[in-house]
Amino acid sequence: MLNKLKEKFSYQKKLKIIYKCRQFKAFLYPFNVSKIATIHKTDKFGYHFYTPHYQTHFKKYKFKRNNILEIGVGGYKDPFIGGNSLRMWKSYFPFSKIYSIDIYDKSFLQESRIKIFKGSQVDFEFLDYVTKKTGDFDIIIDDGSHINEHVIETFEYLFPKLKKGGIYVVEDTQTSYWEENYGGDSTNFDNKKTIYGFFKSLIDAMNNEEFIIENYQKTYYDKHIISMHFYHNMIFIYKGDNNERSNFIVNNSVPNGKI
C-alpha cells in the first residue's frame, strides 16, 4: 500500500515538473501560438489547425488583462491529464486569468492564473455560479462536448456573459454533420438544431437594419453580433454594438414604399 502511494505521488510530482518545464520552454516563443501549442502538446495545432486562426484573431488581446473561459479541460476521466490548451493560453496571454469547466474533477491541473470548475456546460445553475465567481469574459472558447444541442444552449447562455469587444469561439464544428452521438445532420444543412444551421441563421442578425418588416423588434443577437468568421471546423463570433444604419431602409420600412 505504501509503495503504491509513493508511486502515485511520484507520478503526480513528475507531471507537475513536466508541465512547468513546458511553461519555461514556451516562454521562448511568446508570439507564436502554433509553437506554444506544440510545446504544450495540445491538439489545437497538428491534429487540428486552429492556432493560425487564433493567432490572427487574438493578437490584439495578448497583453491585456483578459478573463478567458475555455469549456473542456481534456484528458477525460483521468484527474491528472489535460489542461494542455489552458497552459497554452497562460503562456500566450501573460496578464490574463484562465478559467475552465469540465464534467470531471480536474483540480490537480490548477496552477497560478488557471482555475478549473467541475460541472456541465448545460447546467445553467452551475454556469451562473461560475460567472458570479469570475465576472464576465473577454474570450470564451467552446471545446466541450461538441454535442450540437449543448453547443447551442451554452452559447445562448454565455454569449450575454461575454464583454462587448469580446470573441466567442466554437471548435470542432464538424459534429454539425454527425447525427450519431452528436445530433448533427448531413441532409438538411439549414437545420437550426445543428451548430452550423444555428450560427448561419445569425448572419441575418448582423443585417437586421435591412429587413423590411413592419414594427420589427430587434433580438439580443441583432444588437450585439458585429461579425462572424467561419473556418474549417471552427467559428469566431465578435460581440459589440451592432448599430450601423442602413443606407436606405428606415425603421425596417422602405421610404415612400419604393426601392
> Active-site residues: which are they?
146
Helix (H, G, I), strand (E, B) or coil at 230: strand
Helix (H, G, I), strand (E, B) or coil at 173: helix
Strand ranges, E, within the chain: 67-71, 97-102, 114-118, 137-142, 162-171, 225-231, 234-239
CA torsion through residues 58, 52, 228, 89, sign: negative
Q: Which of 194, 247, 203 is nearest to 221 (CA)?
A: 203
Distance CA 36, CA 46 (A): 12
Contact 183, 147 (CB under 8 A): yes
